Amino acid sequence: MDIIFRPGTTADASACGIICYEAFKAIAEQHNFPPDFPSPEVAVGLYMMIFSRPDVYSAVAEVDGRVVGSNFLWEGDTIGGVGPITVAPAAQNGSIGRRLMERVLERAHSRRQVGVRLVQAAYHNRSLSVYTKLDFQAREPLTVLQGPPLRLALPGYRVRKATAEDLAACDALCTNVHGHDRHGEVAQAIADGTATVVEHDGAITGYATNLGYFAHAVGRTNDDLKALIGAAPAFTGPGFLLPTRNAELLRWCLAQGLRVVQPMTLMSRGLYQKPAGAFLPSVLY
């Protein structure tokens, strides 16, 4: 095959979004899991947003002038997030996925990014194999949870919309837990109006960029995350991701009626610090 790799534009959103929908749907249904996207239109909308962001590097693969796959590097913060990576079902098993991964890793290296991370579906053996061969390490088993909004409040924990004045406190919380902040991501969520903070004993003790697939949260304790989860008006996308080893928080979520959607795995390459607090990763990391 004559494969060409190039940067993507918003003109690629339709082709790449449809490929994403079909590729994720095919692998999910092979393993009896629900698809990540309810329709091609939802996937296309996501890709239109991703291609339009200046802090996301895109790599698109073409064969004979036809788009067959894409991958992305979210490079607005200290750690780069990889994905979504998708290859058209008819073009899979021909090294395109690996080469798309190599493209974004080369980009991260050229920018001297200290680390990159991703989240993969735990049932997808091929992606686990490819990422491991590319020097990623499995770091954390994750559980995706979904359900109706809980509409509950924890006594002593106040959840409110985050503002720009909260950025420093959010950065400090993230640094305490992960060893680095996610300043750019939090600032964007505040601008979008999706970020929230939780206050306890007069201090900000947790925050969330949203509660859902492309959102993350950090807290001093599980109670901070419970307050954020309880106040969320919805859990966007397939659901939010929770570290499976946090049995206490997982048990609490299940007791509130939330259901397990699927297992996933957080993987990293480069800088990684074992988290020193409560957190919810996004589908990027």
Fold exhibited by the domain 3-113: Aminopeptidase (3.40.630)
* CA–CA gap between residue 57 and residue 186 (Å, rounded): 19
Give the residue from 24, 65, 70 showing the smallest Cα distance to 50: 70
Q: Which residues contact 129 (CB under 8 A, 6 or more apart)?
A: none
What is residue 2's predicted lDDT score, i.e. its pLDDT?
84
For the residues of 172-206, what is the DSSP string, one character each? HHHHHHHSS--HHHHHHHHHHT--EEEEETTEEEE
Interval 80-105 mean pLDDT: 92
What is residue 1's predicted lDDT score, i.e. its pLDDT?
65
Fold exhibited by the domain 146-262+272-280: Aminopeptidase (3.40.630)
Q: Is the pLDDT of residue 49 over 80?
A: yes
Give the residue from 249, 282, 275, 244 showing the smallest Cα distance to 154: 249
Give the residue from 50, 55, 18, 56 showing the smallest Cα distance to 37: 18
For the residues of 82-136, what is the DSSP string, one character each? E---EE-GGGTTSSHHHHHHHHHHHHHHHTT-SEEEEEEETT-HHHHHHHHHTT-
* CA–CA gap between residue 89 and residue 47 (Å, rounded): 18
Burial class of residue 201 in the structure, from the number of CB atoms within 10 Å of its CB (0-12 exposed, 13-18 middle, 19+ buried): exposed
What is the bridge-based pairing of β-strands 79-82 and 115-121?
Answer: parallel
For 220-252, write each residue's pLDDT tens digit.
999 999 999 999 999 999 999 999 999 999 999
Q: Which residues contact 116 (CB under 8 A, 6 or more apart)?
A: 73, 79, 80, 81, 82, 104, 105, 108, 268, 269, 270
Would you say the CATH fold of 146-262+272-280 matches that of 3-113?
A: yes
Structure tokens at 195: 């970020």
Q: Is the pLDDT of residue 81 over 70?
A: yes
Q: Is the pLDDT of residue 78 over 80?
A: yes
Interval 98-107 mean pLDDT: 97
Question: CA–CA distance from 66 to each of 5, 42, 198, 201 (Å)?
Answer: 11, 22, 48, 57
Give the residue from 246, 249, 248, 241 showing the smallest Cα distance to 265: 241
Domains of the chain by residue range = 3-113, 146-262+272-280
Q: Is the pLDDT of residue 93 over 80?
A: no
Structure tokens at 234: 């919805």
pTM, rounded to two decimals: 0.95
Q: Is the pLDDT of residue 211 over 80?
A: yes
* CA–CA gap between residue 232 and residue 159 (Å, rounded): 9
Average pLDDT of the chain to the nearest whole number: 96
Q: Is the pLDDT of residue 207 over 70?
A: yes
What is residue 185's predicted lDDT score, i.e. its pLDDT?
97
Q: Is the pLDDT of residue 91 over 90?
A: no
What distance lies between CA 67 and its chain's CA centroid?
Answer: 24
What is residue 94's predicted lDDT score, i.e. its pLDDT?
74
Q: Is the pLDDT of residue 154 over 70?
A: yes
Type of residue at 46 = L
Lowest-pLDDT range, 92-106, 156-170, 264-278? Answer: 92-106
Q: Is the pLDDT of residue 193 over 90?
A: yes
What are residue 156's phi and psi, to 5 degrees?
90, 0
Q: Reduced to 3 states, what is the DSSP secondary structure of residue 49? A: helix
Interval 72-83 mean pLDDT: 97
Q: Is the pLDDT of residue 92 over 90?
A: no
